[in-house]
Amino acid sequence: MADTTWPLCSFSGSVATQGQGATKPRAMEAAGKSVCVTGAGGFIASWLVKLLLSRGQYVVRGTVRDPGASKNAHLKALEGAGERLQLLKTDLLDYNSVSSAIAGCEGVFHVASPVPSSRSSNPEVEVIGPAVTGTTNVLKACYEAKVRRVVVVSSVAAVLSNPNWPKGKPFDEDCWSDEEYCKKNEDWYYLSKTLAEREAFAYAAKTGLDVVTFCPALVLGPLMQPTINSSSKILFNYFKGDRETVENRLRNIVDVRDVADALLLLYEKPEASGRYICSSPPIKVSDMINILKNLYPTYPYPKNFEEVEEVSVYSFEKLQKLGWTFRPVEETLRGSVESYKAFGFLN
């Protein structure tokens, strides 16, 4: 899951701010290839920005709601941020704002997406419309700017909600969530990701824009931002001690650091095309909690596990063929918990 980030357009280098339409700082312009990351302060995007800066060859423009907000301090503290990171106040629902952010960029990573925190009372306005309109604005701006490639972050939510997929067959890139089924079940996030991803491919077919889409499973791992995002809450809630019994479902987990690696791979590999599922082999919730108990034995974990028939297994072979690898789940869980402790969310 990506974070809710509808980040209005002024440059803010690590500290400096320029008005809309101002020219880029000369030092940054000369520093390397410009790429844009939407929703830069979010969970996935923060790690992607860190990875791009670490390469030394990219100038990164990150769209955020408020470049001066303390919640973006972790981005400004990254190595290379002072020279090669620009934070831009950008409204993804305003095309002119988006166009200003993307103009002059060689590549774009569209990571921002609305994630409802609770059941939406007006899904069309709160979830679906923003997801599709934001994606359309980004794609149009990319086409106008002659961007080399845009990588659109979707989700396995756009893959798995399909009652007609053969039972027992791993979900792969050919499977799409059924829109009517999503509406029937009021799975508005699933529907928003499905519609936005389909719009990305429709726009690519119409214009010739090079679009690659990316569908990660449940993204966990260490936090960089000082808040717990929606996907991390799924793991964090196991530590609260407020549930004796949990569903012993299969979880398809992928480390946020491996997600950042995959996104850069999809941008840099000329042969990348179409959509890509990103996951690691599934693990039962009971096995996850046993790993956590061994690592951190003092927390009040759930004691009972209710077996469920639901099985969601993904094929990520296509991404592996590009050279992508994933780290052990123990490393992901340890990294997650250590970050929760470092931010003071856990004792």
Phi then psi dihedrals of residue 299, to 5 deg: -85, 150
Calpha distance 195→126 (Å, rounded): 14
DSSP for 305-342, please give it: EE-------B--HHHHTTT-----HHHHHHHHHHHHHH
Which residues share a beta bridge with 251?
283
* 146, 169, 183, 193: the active-site residue: 193
Most distant CA pair in the chain: distance in Å?
60
193 is catalytic: yes
Element (H, E) at 276: strand 274-278
Cβ neighbours of residue 94 closer than 8 Å, sequence gap 6 or more: 8, 137
C-alpha 50/C-alpha 203 separation (Å) is 29
Which ranges of 43-86 does DSSP label H, i.e. alpha helix? 43-55, 73-76, 81-84
The residues, any chain, with a CB within 8 Å of residue 124's CB and separated by 6 or more, are: none
Q: Would you say how long the chain is, in residues?
A: 347
- For the annotated catalytic residues, the residue numbers are 193
